[in-house]
Structure 1
Amino acid sequence: MPLPFTEPYSTPADPTGPKARVYAILDTDGDGVASRHDYFVRIERAQRATGRGDDDPLVAAARATGERAWAAMDANGDGVMTYQEYVDWVDADKFDNVCQYALGALFDLADDDQDGALDRAQFTLLRQALGNRADNADAAFDALDGDGDGRVGRQEYLAAIRAYVTGDGSPMGDALY
């Protein structure tokens, strides 16, 4: 099914800035717009990477929170979110009320023992499934594992992403994206 016409992709003024980097990951096929398909393929990848079935309650939760997040991001309902629409939309309030739930549900998929933390292998698996480069997952994990116990908690993970996306600075974000 062809996507509806959208405005041409506008290159971010700073392609290395947090929002541009996150948007590039959301645009999984690299065509310049983040489509509904781009957004949901990330959930499918995380499901496959974690070996969870379609009937798994955590997969259902990831899909449900993904639906809510996509509906908020694609406010005009055209099936795509341009870079400018993303920049105009994302902020701390949207992260707190929309994004953190979708990202938390994806975190939960990778947390195979459901203890609220990921080890290095789980973290790397999740980040790669979501479209992050493999070569910097160790640096991101190390930046988040402040106490050196070999685990990254759900709340510190979400807080680091929030800080990065909202411009508050995040060592994990700088390392990961």
Structure 2
Amino acid sequence: MSRIGKLPINIPNNVDVNYSESTIKVKGKFGELETKIPDAIEIIHEDNSLKVSLKTDGRDLRSLHGLYRTLINNMIIGVSEQFQLTLILKGVGYRAAVQKNEIVLSLGYSHPVKIEIPKDISVEVLQNTTINLKSCNKELLGLFASNIRAWRRPEPYKGKGILYKDEQIIRKVGKSGK
């Protein structure tokens, strides 16, 4: 049995959890999330907590036990607190701006890069070089941040690119003189 899967999930007072045999819906202050659950996984509601357990045992099912416990926990945290990611643009002339439902990035290309913002994510640009992303869906937030980051990955020689907030870039020396 999974160590993570055995842990109970605490439900805050402002979160409403509804589940049937195949889906679970979580509704809170910041939104509503829904996910499908395999038939072999059972959810037990006790007081202000949920327990995830397996109906049958098998190697493949044991691997899903901890996964679905973590997914449900992330849903509950997301709708009650929201997840936040911060991206930093490092480089001469690198800028970001929000226009309507797009984020416009100047990253040293001959044209501005326009990326459409998904409806579940809120974007805030501070000082032209810091981008704050917030969402209740952790998976969607990480995917959107990686799509932005893919336009200019941090490079090891000058340390330029789009970095996560506390990311450390290990620098390389480069060419040496003869």
TM-score band by shorter chain is: under 0.3
The answer to which structure, 1 or 2, has the higher relative contact order (CA under 8 A, 6+ apart) is 1
Of Structure 1 and Structure 2, which has the larger fraction of its residues in strand? 2
TM-score of the pair, normalised by structure 1? 0.28
TM-score of the pair, normalised by structure 2? 0.28
